[in-house]
Amino acid sequence: MTPERFHAVTERYALLQVAVVGDFCLDRYLEIDPARHEVSIETGLEVHNVVGVRAQPGGAGTILNNLVALGVGSIWPVGFCGDDGEGYELARALEAMPGVRAITFCRPISGARSPTANRWCSSPASHHAS
């Protein structure tokens, strides 16, 4: 592919309208600062306190994130989420993304849980330049 052809293709991304149908989940990152650890007096084990929490769409939401990064004009997510706090967080995160249009979630029966992946990671504030 020539650079000219590549440019001709990518400059049309803003005109695209894409539906992303799939399994959306909430990726929640619990940020810890290793420098702020302590030892539990009950167990003697090291305890890391959470210093920040961030969440973003995962699963099919990762594809949606990539389409947003490419500058696709209109994106419609279609999927399921639970009737819970994680479902609310997921919908809120999707609504905040540029280019994302009406969110079509087919909600399962009341009380269902949204798929959520919780991950530990070092807090960006804990990374110090040498």
Low-confidence ranges of the chain (pLDDT < 50): 129-130
The pLDDT assigned to 5 comes to: 95
The pLDDT assigned to 129 comes to: 45
Q: What share of the chain is helix, strand, coil (3-state, %, to 5)?
A: 30, 35, 35
Q: What is the pTM of this model?
A: 0.74
The pLDDT assigned to 130 comes to: 42
Q: Would you say 41 and 72 are in contact if contact means Cβ atoms under 8 Å apart?
A: no
The pLDDT assigned to 117 comes to: 84
